[in-house]
Amino acid sequence: MHKKDFKKIIAVRLVQKGIKKSEKEKGLSITLIKPCENLGSMFDFTRERAQTNIELGYYDTLKVFKGFHGIRYCVDVNRDEEYFLKLLLQMDQTKLEGLRQELGATDGMPHRRFILERLVPLLVELLPVTQCVSYGELTVALLERAADKVGIERFTVHSYDSFEQEVVKAHQPEGRNVNLPAVLKGSELLLRAKKEPLLDDIADALIGGIKQG
């Protein structure tokens, strides 16, 4: 298309992985829309799958062109980074205590240092986000986990405030902790293996802090 003098191209990726980013040509603008999840087998022609994929494509496109946040959800964020930093720093301290032990945090490490130096970098590693992710994107990603568990509607545009309120109201903490042998506490490899319950525990701590705040 570039050879035909098109300067702006909208490319739609149909798979999550396996396609290399094309080299940028001078004067060429490429907008890439990629799926937030697997679109299913090419042999799955059911009406339900087709309808789901149409909706996924629509909301993935909105995220690109409207700048909405979210991985599985579509969230219109109207809060600044200071707001989200405050939410992260006010995580429930009781819930964080178990996480401090599992992550092998140094005794006496201040609450805020633990969150910013241990939890935030860990979230960047465990969540499907980029290295330059914002505090807002991290917060929304954690809230999405809780939203998915309680069945909050995916295929709609949520304003951030209503999304936060709905998640906090419906959320029921599961009261679990990631149990590792003492010798393995803080092991990055083991933490990745236990990432799903670990992320759920961090989401519980975030929502607990919002409720207290």
27-54 residue pLDDT tens: 677 667 676 666 665 556 677 877 888 8
pLDDT the model gives residue 184:
46
DSSP 4: G
Q: Which residue has the higher pLDDT, 7 or 55?
A: 55
Whole-angstrom distance, CA of residue 151 vs CA of residue 153: 6
User: What pLDDT is stored for residue 183 in this prediction?
Assistant: 44
The pLDDT value recorded for residue 81 is 98
Calpha distance 197→101 (Å, rounded): 15
Percentage above 70 pLDDT, the chain: 71
- Which residue stretches of 35-187 are H helix? 47-66, 81-89, 93-102, 111-114, 120-126, 135-149, 160-170
- Look at residue 126 in the predicted model and tell me its pLDDT: 93
Q: Tell me, what amino acid is at 68?
A: F
Q: Give the C-alpha separation, 95 to 100, whole Å.
A: 9
Strand partners, 158: 75
53-63 pLDDT per residue, tens: 888 888 888 89
pTM here is: 0.78
For residue 68, the model assigns a pLDDT of 94
| pLDDT tens-digit series, residues 146-200 | 999 999 999 999 999 999 999 999 998 876 555 555 544 555 566 667 889 899 9
Which pLDDT does position 75 carry in this prediction?
Answer: 98
